[in-house]
Structure formats: C-alpha cells, structure tokens
Amino acid sequence: MSDAENTHTFTFNAHLGVYAVAFLDLLGQREAMRPVEAAFEEFAKRHHLFETKDQATIQADPAAQAMAVALDRSVMTIRRFFERYELYAADTAKSMDAWLDSAAAPDQRAVAVRLSRPGIKRLRFSDGLVLYVPMFPSREQGLGSGLFHLLLTCGYLWIAQLADGQPIRGGIDVAAGVAIEDGDLLGPALVNAYTLESKIADYPRIVVGRGVGTFCERMLDGVATDKGTQVDQRVAHIIRELICQAPDGASMIHVLGKRFREIGHRDLGLGMIDRANAFVNSEHERWRADGSERGHRLLAKYERLKGYFDGR
C-alpha cells in the first residue's frame, strides 16, 4: 500500500499542529452557586417544576428573587473576568501596532514584525477561559511570539484578578492539537493545560508545563543563521526569564519577577501588586481564623501564595 493510500484526510476542516494553550479557571464560583442551590430547593417546595408558570408568578417568589440576586452576582463576576481579557487584548493590539509603526531601524523593525501579531484565540467554558495560539513560523510572526504574548496575558490576568479579589488559577503548555473550523481546539495541548490547572497548580497561580521548556531548549539549541531566527532565540531567552520554579518544583509565571514587571502591561504597577498582596494577606487571615476543615485547606493554599509575595 502506498503512502498516499495510508494518508488520513479529516472529514472536517481542521488544522493539526503544535499549539501553546492556557486554561484559566475563575475560582470561587462553586461556593457562589450554593445560595442558588439553597434558594432553588426552597422554590421547588412550593412549585411543581414542570408546570408552566408566567414570569410574574415566578419572579414574585422570594426564593426566585434570592436565586436571581446570587446568579447576578456570579454572572457579573464571570463577565468582568472575560471583559478584562478582551480589553487587555484590544489594548495590546493597539500597542503592538504603534510599536510597529515607530520601528524605523531595520533591527528594531525585525523584532517588532515578529512580535507584533500574537494571534491568540479564545474559548469560554462556563467560568473558565481557554487561550491558544499556533506555534507556526511565518513572515509576520516569530515562532515563539504567540507563547510570549500568552505568558504576558495570563500573568496580567492573574495579578489583576487578585487585585480585584477574584483570583484565577491556570496552566499553560505547548503540545500537539487540532484546531477545528468552528474555533474549537482538541488534543494533548488542551488536556495538558487543563491538567496543570486542575491537578498541579493547587492555589492561585499559573503553572507552566514541560512543553514550554522543551520548546525553549530546541529554539536555543541551534545556531541562528538569519535575522528571524536570532529574534526567535532572543524571545526564547525572555520566555525563560518570565518563568520561575516554585518551592514544590512546579514551574510558574513569575509575575512579581523583574523581567515580567519590565515588559508587562503598563497597568502592572506597584499599586496593582500592592492590592493583590493585600487581598492575599486578608484571605490568609480569614482562613486562619476560620477553624473549619475547609478553612484549614484554604489556609494551606494561601500560605503558599503569601510566601510567593513575601519573597519578592
């Protein structure tokens, strides 16, 4: 049988390749849903759930009103998280365009061209956000530019959400994936990112998988023979500087590190960091005084996060 006969063709429009993927989870939403569940149980005691009722009857019920208040609070929190990403992405696009327009010297323009088109795409999952970018070199994009922007984006969202008292947890990795025509992403890259978030991160931070390190090693392993490769290797060096190793051995985005603060979003000032630190300290004190099993568990998480802030 020939190679052509062995070749599989997708029955749908898809692109198989290597992707950098981030899975971000907005924490605390399970707890936020508990008042909704309690109100729903009260509502169910007084109403047959499968009977048709007019909205006025439903809305007049105190339990339905309690559900609405709790749901509205949760939905607004999730929307603000999504909107924060959209605003950051739009602001980054404007900044990159301005940088590209201002780059006059050939060396400056070579760097700007390869970094100015991050090409990040997003998917929403309930209270979660998936960000992904293909790792394909082209004339308009460096091989590592998408990963570079993905790290900066996730790091900014992490510190901004902490500063607002709505922490997130996440995972980022580089691996194989299949992007489908309707915008979905499947494959090991997404699975890895989700596993890092749900199994490894444990407390509010953005954990970085082995695929990121492997990518940087391969980028830096060879000798740069052209300007584009030289720029890509510089980006790989910077990516390494944006990551640190936590005491538990996991790699994570080093948002409080010097390099991230030098090149991160302009909003990433000491004011935002101080607000995030204040929230971490307040949560640490809150769970230390709680005394319950849940409080003990969350205290352990915030002790680790507090240690990161204290060590900056």
Among candidates 14, 2, 21, which has minimal Cα distance to 196?
21
Is residue 193 assigned to a domain? yes
Cα dist from 290 to 90, 168, 295, 296, 299, whole Å: 41, 22, 5, 8, 9
Domain membership of residue 234 as a residue range: 12-28+82-268
Is residue 56 assigned to a domain? no
Highest mean pLDDT among 90-104, 189-203, 210-224 belongs to: 189-203
pLDDT at 289 over 90: yes
Q: Per residue in 240-280, pLDDT tens?
A: 999 999 999 999 999 999 999 888 766 676 689 999 999 99
Say if CB 163 and CB 279 are below 8 A apart.
yes
At residue 173, the 3 state secondary structure works out as: strand
pLDDT for 61 equals: 75
Tokens 């830096």 sit on residue:
220
The CATH number covering residue 222 comes to 3.30.70.1230
pLDDT for 1 equals: 46
**Range 171-194 average pLDDT:** 91
pLDDT for 204 equals: 97
Is residue 231 assigned to a domain? yes
At residue 277, the 3 state secondary structure works out as: helix
Q: Please, what is the average pLDDT of the chain?
A: 84
Is residue 184 assigned to a domain? yes
* Residue 180 parent element (H or E): strand 168-180
To the nearest whole percent, how much of the chain has pLDDT over 90?
Answer: 46
**Range 32-46 average pLDDT:** 72
Say if CB 140 and CB 231 are below 8 A apart.
no
Confidence of residue 5 (pLDDT cuts 50, 70, 90): low
Is residue 53 assigned to a domain? no
Is residue 117 assigned to a domain? yes
Highest mean pLDDT among 44-48, 153-157, 177-181 belongs to: 153-157
What length does the chain have?
312
Q: Per residue in 102-117, pLDDT tens?
A: 666 666 666 666 666 6
Higher pLDDT, residue 289 or 36: 289
Tokens 């100015």 sit on residue:
116
The number of domains in the chain is: 1
pLDDT for 206 equals: 98
Confidence of residue 37 (pLDDT cuts 50, 70, 90): confident
pLDDT at 169 over 50: yes
Q: Per residue in 54-69, pLDDT tens?
A: 667 667 777 777 777 7
Is residue 279 assigned to a domain? no
